[in-house]
């Protein structure tokens, strides 16, 4: 098919129509294209409302098209936008956010404020697969749209220390030693670094345990002096319940986590704990959400390790941080004016409604699934003067915002924070007032 590309859509593809008449022609999604381009595409599959196609040839290229920096772009499932210059990526994401909110029935939107950082080497965490390919031990990711292993030789969106650590795994595996034989049992590895790349944590995943973990860590420390701690985990056995099971911790070496400095605060993150991945925009995100906000009581829901809670204490007499997996939070968020609660946000809000508690500010940074209908109803009953909603998924954000607007909130600020350059993912911060 010859197609005229119209616009970018959430998920990484762009939209065209099989007919010049957009009303009559079926929508076609084509990855690795850009708005305004004319392309030759191959139909891959059709559904009732749309079709999917693969790009065969760019007939008329956009002036925003560039050569991808990574040699694995297109094969690897990690990035979708390396064929676009960075300013074009921002335009596409901003347009996607605007349209997604409008399609949910949200009107009178404030102007989207855009925040960008370093487009490369920004990630502070990677998780990779490990496998033997052609008798050679390799690290890699999944091939795009599949579970097939793709060996890689670079990852330019990751911090240099992360790639150095990843490259050390095959080197150790090739050595005739106890550490080398143990490494060959590894199936996945996760690395996490602090803000200045001086500390590294490693999590290694096996399907079967064996001796040699300490020897591996000692050898890894020789190659990567920044390594301060590591843990080895046993992956669940295959089966229908595997995804619901958590890896079982077997052994640890060194420190159990690391301290991460952001916004003039120090955060303790246990090995495997959640933390924002973008090194260059962390302070900016914290500032948008937390700085220059004042009052008596603030709630930080879905608080994680307290990324926003700590800065909120500068402007509020009491900050209550709520997190269902709250071990790191309880350990570090202590002292006058600080209260950590280990509970689900839903349970916390149900209790707060009964107690008739009403904070001056509510900050929320939920997982990709959003907050959902019952939380929105409870927030409407609590009626805090301001809500700051941080979201990594514009679709679930739009759904939740529509419900919050319906219970009496209005828009005050709208921010697009590009925490995930070279990918279709985007972070949004919305400030609502009652």
Which residues are annotated as catalytic?
A: 392
Nearest to 427 by CA among 397, 387, 404: 397
The two tokens of residue 257 are 């986590």
Spatial separation of the C-alpha atoms in residues 392 and 163, rounded to whole Å: 25
Residue 7 CB burial class (10 angstroms; 0-12, 13-18, ≥19): middle
């Amino acid at each position: 098919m010859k197609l005229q590309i119209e616009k970018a859509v959430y998920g990484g593809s762009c939209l065209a129509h099989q007919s010049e008449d957009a009303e009559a022609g079926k929508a076609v999604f084509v990855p690795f294209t850009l708005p305004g381009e004319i392309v030759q595409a191959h139909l891959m599959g059709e559904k009732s409302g749309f079709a999917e196609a693969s790009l065969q040839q760019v007939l008329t290229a956009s002036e925003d098209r560039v050569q991808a920096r990574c040699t694995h772009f297109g094969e690897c499932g990690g990035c979708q936008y390396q064929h676009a210059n960075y300013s074009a990526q921002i335009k596409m994401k901003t347009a996607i956010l605007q349209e997604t909110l409008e399609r949910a029935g949200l009107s009178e939107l404030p102007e989207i404020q855009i925040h960008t950082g370093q487009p490369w080497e920004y990630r502070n965490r990677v998780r990779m697969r490990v496998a033997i390919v052609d008798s050679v031990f390799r690290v890699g990711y999944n091939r795009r749209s599949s579970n097939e292993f793709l060996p890689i030789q670079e990852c330019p969106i990751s911090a240099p220390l992360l790639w150095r650590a990843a490259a050390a795994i095959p080197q150790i595996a090739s050595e005739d030693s106890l550490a080398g034989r143990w490494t060959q049992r590894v199936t996945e590895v996760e690395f996490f670094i602090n803000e200045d790349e001086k500390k590294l944590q490693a999590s290694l995943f096996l399907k079967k345990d064996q001796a040699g973990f300490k020897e591996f860590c000692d050898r890894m420390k020789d190659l990567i002096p920044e390594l301060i701690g590591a843990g080895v985990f046993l992956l669940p056995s295959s089966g229908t319940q595997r995804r619901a099971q958590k890896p079982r911790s077997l052994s640890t070496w060194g420190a159990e986590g690391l301290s991460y400095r952001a916004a003039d605060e120090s955060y303790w993150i246990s090995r495997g704990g959640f933390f924002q991945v973008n090194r260059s925009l962390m302070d900016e995100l914290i500032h948008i959400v937390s700085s220059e906000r004042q009052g008596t009581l603030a709630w930080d829901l879905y608080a994680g390790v307290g990324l926003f809670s700590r800065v909120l204490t500068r402007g509020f007499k009491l900050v209550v941080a709520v997190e269902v997996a709250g071990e790191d939070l309880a350990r570090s968020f202590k002292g006058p004016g600080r209260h950590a609660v280990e509970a689900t946000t839903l349970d916390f809000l149900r209790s707060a409604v009964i107690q008739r508690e009403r904070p001056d500010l509510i900050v929320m940074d939920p997982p990709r699934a959003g907050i959902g209908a019952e939380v929105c109803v409870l927030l409407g009953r609590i009626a805090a003067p301001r809500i700051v909603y941080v979201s990594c998924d514009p679709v679930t954000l739009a759904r939740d915002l529509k419900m919050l607007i319906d219970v009496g909130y209005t828009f005050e600020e709208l921010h697009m924070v590009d925490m995930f350059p070279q990918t279709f993912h985007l972070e949004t911060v919305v400030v609502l007032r009652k």
